[in-house]
Amino acid sequence: MIRPRLPILKSFLRYTPIRSSTSFRQFTRLNSSSVKTLKPSSFALPKSDPNVKGVGITPEGISKDEFKMTKLIHGDTDLSIGITERARDKLNEIASSEEDSSNSVLRIKVESGGCHGFQYNLELSNLNKELSEDDELYVFDREGGKIALDDSSLTILQDSKLDYTHELIGSQFKIVESPYTSTACGCGSSFDFDFEKLEQKQKQTEKK
C-alpha cells in the first residue's frame, strides 16, 4: 500500500527557507557514519535561464525512457526518479572498484545550507549498511547502478534525473530536468525549490 504523502508535504509548506535555519533537519534523517563523501562541485544543477523558473537545460542524450529503465527495488512509493545511461555507467564503474560491488550505492541527501537555502550531499556507501540504519530509504536501480534517498529528499527530487556529464570544468554527477527547482547558485551546489509546485503535484496525486 502506498503511504500517504500529505503530512510530509505539509511539513515542507510550514517551513520558510531562512538561510541560517536548520529546521530542515527535523524531517530529514541524516546519516552521521563514516562514508566516502563527494565534493559539492561534483554534484551540481545545470545552469538555467533565470527568467524561467524551475526549468533547466536538458543535456543531450537524455531520453524519456530513463524513468522506465530505473526501477524501485526497496521501499513503497509512487514517486520516481530517473538514472541516465551515463550515470548508470559511472555508478557501475565506481562499484567495480569496491570490495562488495553488488551493494555499492550512491546516497543522495537534500540538506539545509548554501546560499540558496538547500544543498545536495552525495555519499558513496554500502547498501546493506544504509538499510540497517534506515530501512525506510527508497532504493532505485538501473542495471546495477543504485541510488538511495530518504523520503523528504525524494519528495523534492521526484521526476528529476541523475546524470553524469563530461565538461571542460570536469566530470560530475548532476540532477537534471528538475521540475520543482526554482533557483540555483552559479556553482550549482546550492538551490531552492518551489513549494507551490510540490503542493500542486500532491493534489494531482491524491485525485488519481
134-178 residue pLDDT tens: 999 999 999 999 999 999 999 999 999 999 988 777 788 888 888
pLDDT at 44: 41
Which of 130, 178, 128 minimizes the C-alpha distance to 154? 178
Over residues 60-101, the pLDDT tens digits come to 455 668 999 999 999 999 999 999 999 999 999 999 999 999
Distance CA 67, CA 57 (A): 18
- Structural class in CATH, domain 6-207: mainly beta
C-alpha cell at 8: 510530509
Q: What residues contact 44, with CB distance under 8 A and at least 6 apart?
A: 172, 174, 187, 188, 189
